[in-house]
Amino acid sequence: GAGVSQSPRYKVAKRGQDVALRCDPISGHVSLFWYQQALGQGPEFLTYFQNEAQLDKSGLPSDRFFAERPEGSVSTLKIQRTQQEDSAVYLCASSLSRGASGDEQYFGPGTRLTVT
């Protein structure tokens, strides 16, 4: 595809519901990143995939957050039992090479999650 795409663009969930956010990276990109951006803040790192391997999940805020990239392309970020503090924009980015490189990261439009 032309760029990174994410779906849905907007999601409203009641507290306690599970949600799944999808990211389609640029075709052929090895690295995939998830970031969380709270209102008025810069994005913060959540997790990183190199192909299908999740090499870094140090930014996931709790065990309610789970991410996967089973075939090394599309990735899903799942949040179980959503809480109000999970309300944020979730951004996905991809880059051509493995993480330890100077490659530029390309970002998707984000999914805005609102937990009521």
Partner 1 sequence: KQEVTQIPAALSVPEGENLVLNCSFTDSAIYNLQWFRQDPGKGLTSLLLIQSSQREQTSGRLNASLDKSSGRSTLYIAASQPGDSATYLCAVKGYGGATNKLIFGTGTLLAVQP
Which residues contact partner 1 by CB under 8 A? 4, 6, 33, 35, 40-45, 48, 50, 55-56, 59, 91, 93, 98-102, 104-110, 112
Residue 25 or 108 with smaller CB distance to partner 1: 108
* CA pair distance 13, 96, nearest whole angstrom: 33
Q: Are 108 and 9 in contact (CB under 8 A)?
A: no
Residue 70 or 102 with smaller CB distance to partner 1: 102
Closest approach of partner 1 to the CB of residue 14, in Å: 22
Residue 66 or 106 with smaller CB distance to partner 1: 106
Token couple for 77: 């970020």
Cα separation values, 28 from 56, 104, 112, Å: 20, 14, 26
Contacts for 87 with CB less than 8 Å, ≥ 6 apart: 113, 114, 115
Closest approach of partner 1 to the CB of residue 104, in Å: 5
Closest approach of partner 1 to the CB of residue 34, in Å: 10
* CA pair distance 17, 23, nearest whole angstrom: 20
Residue 15 or 38 with smaller CB distance to partner 1: 38
